[in-house]
Structure 1
Amino acid sequence: MSKYVLCIVLMILFVKLEPSMAVTCNPIELSSCASAITSSSPPSAMCCAKLKEQRPCLCQYMKNPNLQKFINSPNSRNVAIKCGSPFPSC
């Protein structure tokens, strides 16, 4: 799946969830990580910043059947590792 398709999917699935720890949960915030998740390219600084910001929301995203496959993908976990943001265990 190309990064553009992932961005479009995330935009379509835009879900505003309850804030957690003063973070507004918004999966579109992770669109800067699309290329790193869908390929082997390294995550950008923006991606890492957004991933760390949205980390409290990842468990909520994993419960969403439309987002689950992206959040649970091996590449997502690799991006988290490369960004130094431990992947949550939900």
Structure 2
Amino acid sequence: MKASYVAIALCTVLVVMLATEEVSVAAVTCNPTELSSCANAISSNTAPSNLCCTKLNQQKPCLCQYLNNPNLKQFVNSPGARNVARACGVPFPRC
């Protein structure tokens, strides 16, 4: 009987964790201007700032959307952008 209470508690915790994760992903607003702090690092092949890496991590769920946009693809898919993503530890998306 005691084991079933533990199983129910663990399931409840798991459901809450998954629900919280979905909320945090859904809270991302895709806005390419959020990555403006990365422009210098992308264009001059310099190390990205902490702000750039933070913003890039926040916008990670949006990168495929940006790659599929003809106006943004050339910037997001550039060698400089790939270097910044690598330096920030953000895997380049496969869309």
TM-score, normalising length from structure 1? 0.76
**Cα deviation code 1:49-82 (max 9, x no counterpart):** 0000001000000111110000000111110010
Q: Which 5+ residue runs of structure 1 have no aligned equivalent?
A: 1-19
How many angstroms does 1:36 deviate by?
A: 0.6
How many angstroms does 1:41 deviate by?
A: 1.1
Distance 2:72 2:79 in 1: 14
Tell me which stretches of 4 or more aligned residues in structure 1 moved more than 2 Å. none
Larger Rg: 2
Task: Work out which of the residue numbers 86, 90, 94 in structure 2 matches 1:85.
Answer: 90
Could you tell me which residue of structure 1 aligns to residue 74 of structure 2?
69
Superposition RMSD on alpha carbons, in Å? Answer: 1.2
Distance 1:78 1:60 in 2: 19
Q: Which 5+ residue runs of structure 2 have no aligned equivalent?
A: 1-23
Distance 1:60 1:72 in 2: 12
1:28 aligns with 2:28: no
The alignment covers a number of residue pairs equal to 71
* Secondary structure of 1:86 counterpart: coil
Structure having the larger proportion of residues in helix: 2
